[in-house]
DNA sequence: GTGAAAGCGCTAACAA
DNA sequence: TTGTTAGCGCTTTCAC
């Protein structure tokens, strides 16, 4: 036989289909005995509810749509956590990824079609250009409020940056370079946290334009390493550390430093943000700021669930904040004399 | 109003629901006029078939399940292509990703639950340990036949490796190091292609144990760079190039070379396999072998579609092969004297 | 060519 | 506490 249905269980137990349905949903109005018996038979037959059937019937099914960019490692990490968290609360997640063959508009329309009652969007910069209103009522992860009509779960860089700057200061660094990203809410927020922390710690710094990928980091740092550049060992105002917008940018910085014949962590310290997989590789062993994706995911599911239960569009917009924290590795070390 | 249904179109046109359904499915038994009229109204109302409804009713819905590891960049690339290809043939794809919170068994059971009529598995090494028989009747991408009961779409490394070795030979390289991966079908196949090509070109080589990630590449190559090592410039039997199992491994090799104070592409040439995103970054600019994921995806969808149409389990197992090809970049250059 | 009706697997309003 | 009935949106007989 193919997969057993409610009907099969009903026949096996002698109860009606609806009773079986209620029993398996742990409805309060079913007697303990029946409930037990039905559960048992269901287990014995290997019953698994067919989501298609219930989706079709349920007015507000517990389905969260996730819009992300699977090409970005951090998004995949968030997704893993989101799925685990959602599953533990009996919520489904359906994922759409923006990519070379999929626009944000297509993705969202697909999600709506699949009856998603709430929408979680990771880092909507990619999607923002599209339709204003496209992401209304969504739960946004990862930025300052870029989407006016959406809830927000954001990382507060303050704590992580404070820890990072304190860490560098305690290692004797007095002058740092900050590699910024392209203009945007996210870049502005991180830069602000950095300058605040540096000012506070009495560290002087220099901000240079960079970007969010490895090439940008390379291009930003390479010129600073040349004769007389602020990162060159012989410079009068020698800067001994580089803090980057994110890990990928920091990887570019490390490559630049290596190419210049210098040693990251010894001649120049480098740090990033995101605590990505490559950061923990021994090849880079990059000091980074962790954004606690597990916690972020949990809060995002909280908000999404609330929206599902309250009928998606109502209620005042919320902003939840998750603290970041430093993960120190060997890419940062004592400042050279 | 919420999304229009067949019923809405039926009422708007005066036809019955069944006629509308048939017309939109371009059934032959509907008159040209009606068909046109119904299509037009449907467009005007912005009708989109609800997949849940049709899924529920259709005995063998055109749904492909995809099992992959979204944490791996190449898998995401394959997935993008698979989705595009499937969509163009009116096939749905539902993705499950093996990850920290999801085992292969769970993933497959989820896919079956969603009525997938065919299963595409990318690089099943991760899933293989599970159940023998779990992946019976699947279409496997990317290895030698690891799964006995499955169709296979594989990359033939021959052409790419031949091109790579010829490329290196023409640059004057006579002795190469090959960094192998952990034992397995995939590693064996690539090594074989390499040795064949090298033997053929009269290139001598040395094989060292490595792995599939950046740390493995670093760990494998670093020791060879020391005083008297085969990659050190002063060695009597100096090896001037490194061919790696994949791009990530090659990145580790490049880091090792940079750390040793040497220049990739000048002092030592490095090449990888996969033509990943990082390979094309200016930071690595890595010569690599492209596996034509678009073409692989197309063939995989071909096989999956055939399985759907023929009732999933019948027919002899097929193996389709896609040629690889060289992408030369600056990580390979003339052999030093 | 078209319509009426049944039913995919499930849930929920209403009865009992 | 349980059963009956209706119906989610769709496809597919079976009639006409």
Q: Which of B124, B123, B130, B71 has its CA nearest to residue B103?
A: B130
Res. A48: pLDDT tops 70: yes
- Strand C-contacting residues in A 35-74, CB cut-off 7 angstroms: 49-50, 52-54, 56-59
Closest approach of B250 to chain A, Cα-based (Å): 12
pLDDT computed for residue A112 by the predictor: 87
B102-123 pLDDT, tens digit per residue, is 999 999 989 988 889 899 999 9
Q: Which nucleotides of D are covered by protein (CB under 7 A)?
A: 1-13
- Spatial distance from the CA of B21 to the C1' of D15 (Å): 18
Spell out the alpha helix ranges (H) of chain B. 6-13, 17-24, 32-45, 51-57, 73-88, 104-113, 125-128, 157-170, 185-201, 214-221, 247-259, 293-310
Mean predicted confidence (pLDDT) in B234-242: 96
Q: How far is the CA of B137 from the C1' of D5 (A)?
A: 41
State the average pLDDT for chain A: 93
CB atoms within 10 A of CB A204: 11
**Per-residue model confidence (pLDDT) at position A184:** 86
Say yes or no for a CB contact (<8 Å) between B251 and A283.
yes
Largest CA distance in chain B: 89
d(CA B53, CA B88): 21
Is the model's pLDDT at A332 over the cut of 90?
A: yes
Biggest alpha carbon distance in chain A? 88
Question: Cα(B63)–Cα(A52) distance, rounded to whole angstroms?
Answer: 13
pLDDT higher than threshold 70 for residue B6? yes
Single out the residue of A94, A66, A139, A85 nearest to residue A294, CA to CA.
A85
CA distance B248 to chain A (A): 10
SS3 A75: helix
Distance B7 CA to D8 C1' (A): 12
Question: With bands split at pLDDT 50, 70 and 90, how would you rate the model's confidence at B33?
Answer: very high
pLDDT in tens, A254-294: 999 999 999 999 999 999 999 999 999 999 999 999 999 99
Contacts of A126 (CB under 8 A, 6+ apart): A69, A98, A104
Confidence of residue A226 (pLDDT cuts 50, 70, 90): very high
Decide if A236 touches B, using CB distance below 8 A.
no
Phi and psi for B102 in degrees, rounded to 5? -145, 120
Which residue in B has a C-alpha nearest to residue A250's C-alpha?
Answer: B283
**Contact residues, B window 30-89, toward A, CB-based 8 Å cutoff:** 48, 50-53, 55-56, 70-71, 73, 76, 79-81, 83-84, 87
Residue A211 DSSP SS3: coil
pLDDT at A234 over 70: yes
What is B289-317 written as a DSSP string? EE--HHHHHHHHHHHHHHHHHHTSS-S--
Q: How many CB pairs under 8 A join A and B?
A: 106
Indicate left, alpha or beta for A129 from its phi (over 0: left) and psi (-120 to 50: alpha). alpha
Does the model's pTM come out above 0.85?
Answer: yes
Q: Is the pLDDT of residue B292 over 60?
A: yes
What lies within 8 Å, CB to CB, of B2 at 6+ separation is: none
Q: Measured in angstroms, what separates residue B11's CA from nucleotide C5's C1'?
A: 18
pLDDT on residue A145 = 74
**Mode of pairing for the β-strands spanning B63-68 and B118-122:** parallel
Are the beta carbons of A56 and B51 separated by less than 8 Å?
Answer: no
CB B139 within 8 A of CB B304: yes
pLDDT band at B13 (very low <50, low <70, confident <90, very high): very high
- Element holding A192 (H helix, E strand): helix A185-201
* Per-residue pLDDT tens over the stretch B54-90: 999 988 899 999 999 999 999 999 999 999 999 999 9
A253: Cβ contacts below 8 Å, ≥ 6 apart: A179, A217, A218, A220, A221, A242, A244, A270
Given a cut of 90, is residue B304 above it in pLDDT? yes
Nearest to A250 by CA among A226, A281, A215, A223: A215
Q: Does A146 score more than 90 pLDDT? A: no
What's residue B143's pLDDT?
75
Amino acid A32: pLDDT: 92
- pLDDT tens digit sequence for A169-216: 999 999 999 999 999 888 999 999 999 999 999 999 999 999 999 999
**Rounded distance between C-alpha atoms, residue A155 and residue A229, angstroms:** 33
How far is B157 from B324, CA to CA, in rounded Å? Answer: 6
pLDDT of B128 reads 62
Cα separation, A151 vs A320, in Å, equals 8
Whether residue B1 has pLDDT greater than 70? no
Mutate to test the interface with A, among B52, B270, B285, B313 (most CBs of A within 10 A): B52
pLDDT of A74-112, one tens digit each?
999 999 999 999 999 999 999 999 999 999 999 998 998
CA end-to-end distance (rounded Å), chain A:
77
């Amino acid at each position: 036989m193919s997969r057993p249905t409610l009907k099969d269980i009903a026949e096996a137990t002698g109860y009606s289909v609806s009773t079986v349905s209620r029993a398996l949903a742990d409805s309060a109005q079913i007697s303990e005995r029946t409930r037990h018996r039905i559960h048992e038979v269901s287990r014995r037959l290997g019953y698994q509810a067919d989501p298609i059937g219930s989706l079709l019937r349920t007015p507000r099914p517990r389905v969260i749509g996730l819009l992300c960019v699977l090409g970005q490692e951090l998004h995949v990490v968030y997704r893993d956590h989101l799925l685990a968290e959602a599953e533990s609360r009996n919520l489904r997640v359906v994922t759409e990824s923006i990519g070379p063959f999929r626009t944000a508009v297509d993705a969202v329309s697909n999600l709506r079609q699949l009856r998603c009652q709430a929408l979680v969007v990771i880092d909507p910069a990619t999607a923002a250009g599209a339709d204003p209103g496209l992401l209304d009522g969504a739960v946004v992860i990862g930025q300052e409020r870029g989407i006016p009509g959406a809830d927000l779960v954001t990382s507060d860089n303050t704590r992580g940056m404070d820890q990072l700057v304190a860490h560098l200061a305690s290692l004797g660094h007095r002058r740092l370079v900050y590699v910024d990203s392209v203009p945007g809410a996210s870049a502005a927020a991180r830069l602000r946290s950095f300058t605040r922390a540096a000012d506070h710690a009495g560290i002087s710094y220099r901000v240079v334009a960079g970007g969010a990928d490895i090439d940008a980091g390379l291009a930003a740092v390479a010129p600073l390493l040349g004769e007389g550049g602020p990162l060159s060992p012989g410079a009068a105002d020698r800067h001994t550390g580089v803090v980057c917008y994110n890990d990928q940018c920091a990887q570019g910085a490390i490559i630049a430093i290596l190419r210049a014949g210098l040693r990251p962590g010894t001649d120049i310290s480098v740090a990033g943000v995101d605590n990505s997989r490559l950061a923990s590789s021994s090849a880079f062993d990059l000091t980074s700021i962790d954004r606690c994706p597990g916690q972020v995911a949990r809060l995002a599911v909280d908000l999404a669930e609330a929206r599902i239960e309250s009928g998606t569009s109502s209620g005042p917009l919320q902003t939840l904040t998750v603290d970041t924290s430093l993960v120190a590795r060997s890419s940062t070390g004592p400042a050279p004399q």
